[in-house]
């Protein structure tokens, strides 16, 4: 099914003359240097076709005869290759490589003046003459791709109609020797498949999706290598060209953990063009582009975008990850534009949460995943979580259980930031999806503070947030944060959060006694302090009215609700209430400092 969908995508692009996808038998390759010849085969020089500056220099893209697969043996490309093959550089295999390069030209290119000129140069060129060229040393060191051009012509020799005609004749002369499992038609079965390049973490030379190692126990019924899964050469060229094109595109590929993810639709759609914007980090050039795309997605039921005109169009998402010998399929999702649009919109609704104004309007996939990784680093994103999370979004299914575990671990280990907005959003979304999927008799968590929430753990989290706020105000929040940063003191969040959300009965009685000491400090600050104490005690009374006693243990789901309750209450405490006078400058500084410590 994957190969069929990729072949259909190739056929779609091939039918569009402006798509730029390589025709059968050809491929886009970066050529760095070009040997300039005349029609007598005389060497006129070496031209540098690289583009860019410094270390970012790379060859120019040309549409040349398709790259052959090179394993441990020697296999030459037609009329272009690395410097080792073209010039025979290297004591061990240089001569054999050059011999293979010449052999392909002799047998596959029809006789002509230009063919004879190239062969004359290859047979007679000596290192002593080439060493005088300014680029020779660099060619020997880097082994970059080299091709040929004739004086007075703009195209490379391998781009000319003469060579293309030869390639077409070779394709037409092939004999059908089997039934292609992709097309269902008889074709020449491909023994080796073209390598796939651009998969993050895979071998630089490329790897395969379809691959069978010879004489290693994978052969069956007398078949070996690609004959074990017969794919015709036409279908093989189509699916590999389509996949390499997608992996080389910045608009149709993205990284999901360790999975290089590509996506495409059956026909050209607006959804296909915007898909990467739903999940990627904002661009520096246009930081609001992602937000606009997500808003369009939310408005699509009214506007008809993605729904009315494209809803039944098939859409595909393929995640590829590196493996030792080949490329692994991390996930494969197929559906319709309308279905995926609805599911992605639900994902954004689920992760919506009240947050400070400096937070992104919508969290990118990377930002969500990196906040569950150790030290908040991309390289530490658990591969399985990333792939399973993406599948859950596209299928509108419950998020993986490992996601909740990872978020709670990060909250426990991150003593400074704890429940950041993005982590609270993930937990809220996970729990709500679980409630819906399992049809539990529980109230879903809301975007902001919910005093009517039925979960005891949620209100325990609220209580912990209020107790922390009392301590901060009693100790002049700004001062205590400065002391904490020097290791001289710490808030109850840093000392007791882990125990409070896991075994409340062991911590909360102590915290409630300490609370009285802190409230006494506040009360001594005069009329304003006494008024503040009344408000805080009233808030505590409202919260503890939701439960009778402190439980001995909270399971993972309850710990998640504890975290969301803590975050919601914390956010509410630092949100200016309508109808109230603004805080004094001193109080504002203290509140900003305390809030900054959380986010």
Q: Is residue 566 part of a domain?
A: yes
Residues 40 and 143 in one domain: yes
* pLDDT tens digits along 529-588: 788 899 999 999 999 999 989 999 999 999 999 999 999 999 999 886 544 544 444 444
Which pLDDT value is given to residue 314? 94
Q: What are phi and psi of 78, to 5 degrees?
A: -95, 115
CB atoms under 10 Å from CB of 37, counted, come to 21
Residues 167 and 181 in one domain: no
Q: Is residue 354 part of a domain?
A: no
Residues 168 and 192 in one domain: no
Length of the chain: 599
Q: What residues does 315 pair with on adjacent strands?
A: 265, 335
Residues 242 and 113 in one domain: no
Residues 144 and 195 in one domain: no
DSSP secondary structure, 280-298, as one string: SPPPSS-TTHHHHHHHHHH
Residues 166 and 178 in one domain: no
| Contact between 372 and 403 (Cβ < 8 Å) | yes
| Contact between 104 and 163 (Cβ < 8 Å) | no
Q: Is residue 481 part of a domain?
A: yes
The per-residue pLDDT string of the chain (599 residues; one tens digit each, 9 = 90 and over) reads 899 999 999 999 999 988 989 998 899 999 999 999 999 999 999 999 999 888 788 999 999 999 888 766 789 999 999 999 999 987 778 889 999 999 999 999 999 999 999 999 999 887 667 888 899 988 888 889 999 999 999 999 999 998 998 888 877 777 788 899 999 999 999 888 888 999 998 888 888 888 887 776 667 777 878 888 899 999 999 999 999 999 998 889 999 988 999 999 999 888 998 899 999 888 887 888 888 888 888 877 666 566 555 678 999 999 999 887 789 999 999 999 989 999 999 999 999 999 998 899 999 999 999 999 988 888 888 888 999 999 999 999 999 999 999 999 999 887 666 899 999 999 999 999 999 999 999 999 999 999 999 999 999 999 999 999 999 888 864 444 444 444 435 788 888 999 999 999 999 999 999 999 888 888 777 667 788 899 999 999 999 999 989 999 999 999 999 999 999 999 999 886 544 544 444 444 444 444 444 44
Place of tokens 């947030």: 465
Tokens of 335: 């559906």
Residues 198 and 152 in one domain: no
CA dist list (Å): 367 to 341, 357, 373, 381, 382: 21, 17, 10, 11, 14
Q: Is residue 266 part of a domain?
A: no
Give the domain-ending residue among 186, 211, 246: 246
Give the domain-ending residue among 172, 191, 220: 172
| Contact between 7 and 234 (Cβ < 8 Å) | no
Residues 82 and 187 in one domain: no
Give the domain-ending residue among 118, 149, 172: 172
Residues 78 and 156 in one domain: yes
Which residues lie closer than 8 Å to 472 by C-beta, 6 or more apart?
Answer: 480, 491, 590, 594
Structural domain span for residue 74: 32-172
Residues 103 and 217 in one domain: no
Which pLDDT value is given to residue 155? 94
Residue 184 backbone class (left: φ over 0; alpha: ψ -120 to 50; beta: rest): left
Which pLDDT value is given to residue 579? 41
Residues 165 and 224 in one domain: no
Domain count, the chain: 3
* pLDDT tens digits along 207-220: 888 888 777 666 77
Q: Is residue 486 part of a domain?
A: yes
| Contact between 571 and 354 (Cβ < 8 Å) | yes
| Contact between 254 and 280 (Cβ < 8 Å) | yes
Q: Name which of 500, 469, 495 is nearest 590 in CA terms.
A: 469
Bridge-based pairing state of the strands 145-150 and 33-37? parallel
Q: Is residue 289 part of a domain?
A: no
Residues 62 and 121 in one domain: yes
Q: Is residue 269 part of a domain?
A: no
Q: Is residue 163 part of a domain?
A: yes
């Amino acid at each position: 099914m994957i190969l069929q969908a990729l072949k259909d995508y190739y056929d779609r692009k091939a039918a569009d003359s402006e798509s730029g996808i390589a025709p059968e038998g050809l491929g886009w390759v970066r050529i760095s240097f070009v040997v300039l010849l005349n029609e007598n085969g005389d060497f006129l020089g070496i031209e540098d076709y690289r583009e860019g500056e410094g270390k970012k220099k790379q060859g120019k893209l040309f549409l040349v005869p398709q790259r052959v697969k090179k394993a441990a043996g020697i296999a030459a490309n037609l009329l272009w290759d690395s410097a080792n093959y073209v010039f025979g550089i290297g004591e061990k295999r240089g001569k054999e490589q050059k011999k293979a390069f010449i052999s392909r030209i002799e047998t596959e290119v029809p006789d002509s003046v230009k063919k004879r000129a190239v062969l004359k140069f290859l047979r007679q060129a000596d290192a002593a003459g080439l060493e005088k060229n300014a680029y020779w040393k660099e060619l020997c060191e880097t082994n970059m791709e080299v091709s040929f051009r004739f004086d007075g012509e703009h195209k490379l020799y391998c781009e000319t109609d003469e060579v293309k005609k030869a390639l077409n004749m070779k394709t037409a002369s092939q004999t059908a020797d089997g039934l292609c499992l992709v097309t269902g038609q008889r074709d020449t079965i491909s023994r080796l498949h073209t390598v796939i390049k651009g998969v993050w973490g895979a071998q630089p030379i490329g790897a395969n999706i379809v691959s069978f190692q010879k004489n290693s126990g994978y052969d069956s019924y007398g078949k070996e290598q690609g004959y074990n899964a017969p794919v015709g050469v036409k279908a093989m060229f189509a699916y590999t060209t389509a996949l390499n094109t997608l992996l080389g595109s910045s608009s149709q590929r993205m990284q999901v953990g360790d999975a290089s993810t590509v996506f495409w639709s059956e026909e050209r759609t607006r959804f296909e063009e915007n898909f990467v914007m739903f999940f990627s980090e904002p661009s520096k050039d246009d930081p609001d582009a992602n937000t606009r795309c997500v808003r369009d997605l939310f408005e699509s039921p009214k506007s008809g975008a993605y729904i009315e005109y494209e809803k039944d169009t098939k859409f595909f998402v393929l995640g590829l990850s590196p493996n030792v010998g080949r490329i692994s399929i991390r996930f494969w999702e197929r559906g319709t534009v309308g279905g995926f649009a609805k599911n992605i919109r639900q994902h954004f609704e689920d992760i919506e949460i009240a947050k400070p104004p400096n937070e992104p309007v919508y969290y990118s996939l990377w930002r969500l995943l990196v906040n569950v990784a150790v030290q908040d680093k991309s390289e530490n994103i658990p591969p399985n979580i990333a792939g399973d999370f993406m599948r859950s979004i596209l299928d509108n299914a419950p998020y993986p259980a490992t996601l909740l575990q990872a978020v709670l671990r990060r909250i426990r280990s991150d003593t400074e930031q704890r429940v950041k907005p993005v982590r609270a959003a993930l937990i809220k979304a996970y729990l709500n999806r679980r409630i819906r999927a399992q049809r539990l008799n529980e109230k879903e968590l809301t975007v902001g503070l919910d005093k009517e929430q039925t979960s005891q753990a949620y209100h325990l989290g609220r209580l912990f947030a209020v107790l922390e706020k009392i301590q901060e105000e009693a100790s002049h929040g700004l001062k205590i944060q400065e002391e904490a940063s020097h290791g001289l003191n710490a808030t109850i969040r840093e000392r007791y959060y882990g125990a409070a959300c896991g075994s409340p009965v062991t911590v909360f009685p102590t915290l409630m006694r300490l609370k009285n000491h802190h409230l006494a400090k506040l009360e001594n600050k005069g009329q304003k302090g006494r008024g503040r104490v009344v408000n805080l005690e009233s808030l505590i009374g409202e919260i503890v009215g939701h439960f009778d006693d402190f439980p001995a243990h909270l399971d993972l789901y309850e710990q998640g609700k504890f975290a969301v309750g803590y975050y919601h209450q914390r956010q509410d405490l630092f949100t200016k209430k309508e109808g109230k006078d603004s805080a004094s400058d001193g109080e504002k500084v203290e509140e900003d400092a305390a809030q900054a410590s959380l986010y």
